[in-house]
Structure 1
Amino acid sequence: MRSQHSGTFSVPVRLLFIGVAAVFLTLGLRALASILIPILFSLFATLIFAPLIHILQKRGIHPAVSVSLVILLFLLIMAGIGLIVVSAILQFNEMIPGYQSQFIDMTDSFTPYIASMESFSPGSVIRDIGLFLLASMAAIFMGAVNAVTTIGLIIITTAFLLIDAVGISRRVEREVEEHFVLAVKIRSLGLQVIDYVVIRTETNLVMGAGTAIVLLIAGVDFAILWGFLAFLLGYIPYIGIMIAIIPPAIIAFLQYGPLGALIIVVVILIINVLSDNVLFPSLAGRGLELSPSVVFLSLAYWGFVFGPAGAILSTPLTMVIRIILASSEETHWIGELLGETKKR
């Protein structure tokens, strides 16, 4: 006797199909990374600034005027950040040779106090690592300056998305008004992602500003640049702040020695701990609704697909996928697996 479900695929076969589809989707996304990255950054920039349009409209400002004011604010912020960061990067690149020679002199002064074997010298290894990090910092920063075309595309795309932000939301609501459940799911998806992006941005602003202030008080070179780096890398869970600490730690080491650098690193870490473990949870309420292991694995996956940009966008992208999976009866169980474990 044949089962009434004999026409459907078994669970292992379905999982195999899902796995194959995921592989092809990953390869396709990676091949289209140069196109998708500006679009994704534009979408998330729109999520950050679009709520301002609604706030202005609620205060009686005409929609066209409110959109124009928000776009102007966005352009001013991007222009200001661009001028400050690019000028600092160019100055830093010019000072790299001086930093390298200074680092060599400092490590050479410590070498006599470090035990070394016949074929291995810890002092030379430390010096080589430091020089490599300085050279890598210069290469990365100059690559950021050369990415002007991509940044310009992000700015233009975001501006157009902000112009159409109100119209899109109204059209979506009109299209799904006859499907109440679908409308609720779309609204829930949008609100959760917007909440995360906005709150994460606010938390990163506090962390970046605190880092810059500490470095300015300490007199560390390019404090504003390192503060902006802490703000940007704050979007990368777990390892972002560790990466952001490396450049100012090296500069502080050159200026004030090991003890001074250690004190500055500890203060920056305290700011990060307070921002991530006190400020962010208090603003986010229930949190990400993603398990820590999923957050870490998503960081590795999106970093593989989109590179550093994917690492920055990994959490919101995973949130979108989880909400989409959880909204369907067939894939609801996958969404639950990605979710945070509920405490009893």
Structure 2
Amino acid sequence: MKRASKARTAASPAPADPPQHEEHHRPALSPALQVLLALAATVVALAGLSFARDIVGPIALAVVIVIICHPIRHPLERHGWPRWAATSTVIGLAFVVLIGLALLLVFAGVQFARLVADYADDLEATGRNLVEWLGTFGLDKQVSDATAAILDPAEILGFVTSLGGTVISVLTALFFVFAYIIFMAADGSRYARAEQVFGRGIHPTMQRFRSFNGGVRRYYVVNASFGAVVAIIDGLALWAVGVPAPVVWAILAFVTNFIPNIGFIIGLIPPALLALVVGGWPLMLAVIAIYCVVNVVLQVLVQPKFVSDAVNLSLTLSFFSVIFWTFIIGPLGAILSIPLTLLVRALVLGVDPGTRWLRWLSGEDVDAAAGVSGP
């Protein structure tokens, strides 16, 4: 029996192998092609942002203001305030910040226009003298004309007028900014409960945005602190040497302090030119010396280190961000350059673990970030 069983077993055919389905693998893209596709997608996205700058700018401004004001919600809710009351407080504080900044800019613009009108004759005389002085060095007529145009009252008033038009368009967009602030502040309380709804699985994503929000707040706290110190010192120094409207230049120094690296130069040019008109070369050199001592030491040497530590951005990337975002969304991009760069890093580089070295290259302390688990 055993032999017959063995014989039948030996005679039975071996079980057929299961059918193999042919696998068709798409050829992987080469690294060079991947880079080209990524660059092409980036260019398209940036072109879209630039085309929609009138929409993107107000939204970005509203986001930054809400992020700055949002932490006031937490102590109010801990003291038993209902969510609607805490949200209303955030909205009210955001409106105060926005309206206060708008009033400062309007006041400075009006005073600047009055200065140009009051010193129109002096500006023309200074322009002619400067052209004659440049002529003694053999400079061609184009350079002389360009220099004279800088002090031409009509050109300056035209610039003020265009600036006024920009301010009017910004004020028109404030309605939308106010609406964005209301909606974002209301949504902020809802998003804070995301981990309770979806569990700890989304903790890494929430942590990235908490890190982004914290970086934005630290950045503006550092800039506002340094800007206030610089504005007070500049205003008092300009008042002491006799430059007209020192309050206007103090406001300008405060606002331009939010423009990394090159804000110092923007804030220096108007008071230096006015000092040249009012008191000649000695007063102009005195103003330049004041700004070099105060602004260069604080804004160029000391502040960038604090900003870099606050937001974990390299100094090179901070400087490039100003130029890049100004080109993409206009003048508002200069003030919002650091938050926009932080947002791009959080969205693009914070998702893929393989980009850890790129985050380190941008200035982020990746080892510290990996061990952080903020509330």
**TM-score class, shorter:** 0.7 to 0.9
Alpha-carbon distance change, 189 to 101 in structure 1, aligned in 2, over 3 angstroms: same
Task: Report the AA paired with residue 147 of structure 2.
Answer: I
- The 2-side partners of 1:300 and 1:278 are apart by 21
1:305, CA displacement in angstroms? Answer: 1.1
> Which digits, 9 at most, give the CA deviation of each residue in 1:41-94, with x for residues without a partner?
110111221223334445665544444344334433443443443244234324
Indicate yes or no: 2:151 matched with 1:127. no
1:241, CA displacement in angstroms? Answer: 1.7
Indicate yes or no: 2:57 matched with 1:37. yes
Would you say how many aligned residue pairs link Structure 1 and Structure 2? 338
**Runs of 5+ unmatched residues, structure 1:** none
Alpha-carbon distance change, 12 to 259 in structure 1, aligned in 2, over 3 angstroms: same
Conservation of the 8 A alpha-carbon contact between 1:176 and 1:182: no
Selected match of 2:247 from 224, 232, 257: 224
Task: Report the AA paired with residue 23 of structure 1.
Answer: V
Conservation of the 8 A alpha-carbon contact between 1:209 and 1:227: yes
Superposed, 1:101-116 pairs within 5 Å as 101-109=121-129, 115=136
Partner of 1:79: 99
Secondary structure in 2 matching 1:96: helix
**Runs of 5+ unmatched residues, structure 2:** 1-24, 367-375
- The 1-side partners of 2:182 and 2:129 are apart by 54
Secondary structure in 2 matching 1:238: coil
TM-score (norm: length of structure 1): 0.82
> Which digits, 9 at most, give the CA deviation of each residue in 1:215-272, with x for residues without a partner?
3444533433332322222222211221121112222222222222222232233332
Alpha-carbon distance change, 124 to 29 in structure 1, aligned in 2, over 3 angstroms: closer
- The 2-side partners of 1:259 and 1:340 are apart by 45
Superposed, 1:152-231 pairs within 5 Å as 152-171=175-194, 174-175=197-198, 177-231=200-254
Alpha-carbon distance change, 208 to 168 in structure 1, aligned in 2, over 3 angstroms: farther
- Which sits farther off after the overlay, 57-66 or 71-80? 57-66
Secondary structure in 2 matching 1:229: helix
**Sequence identity, in percent?**
25
Partner of 2:256: 233
Conservation of the 8 A alpha-carbon contact between 2:127 and 2:151: no
Selected match of 2:168 from 146, 170, 173: 146
- The 2-side partners of 1:296 and 1:22 are apart by 20
Selected match of 1:266 from 281, 289, 300: 289
Indicate yes or no: 2:329 matched with 1:332. no
Larger radius of gyration between Structure 1 and Structure 2 = 2
1:308, CA displacement in angstroms? Answer: 1.1
Secondary structure in 2 matching 1:286: helix
Alpha-carbon distance change, 212 to 52 in structure 1, aligned in 2, over 3 angstroms: farther
- The 1-side partners of 2:49 and 2:41 are apart by 12
RMSD of Structure 2 on Structure 1 (CA): 3.4
Secondary structure in 2 matching 1:221: coil
TM-score (norm: length of structure 2): 0.76
- The 1-side partners of 2:240 and 2:77 are apart by 40
- Which sits farther off after the overlay, 106-115 or 293-302? 106-115
1:12, CA displacement in angstroms? Answer: 0.8
Alpha-carbon distance change, 56 to 176 in structure 1, aligned in 2, over 3 angstroms: same
Alpha-carbon distance change, 24 to 110 in structure 1, aligned in 2, over 3 angstroms: closer
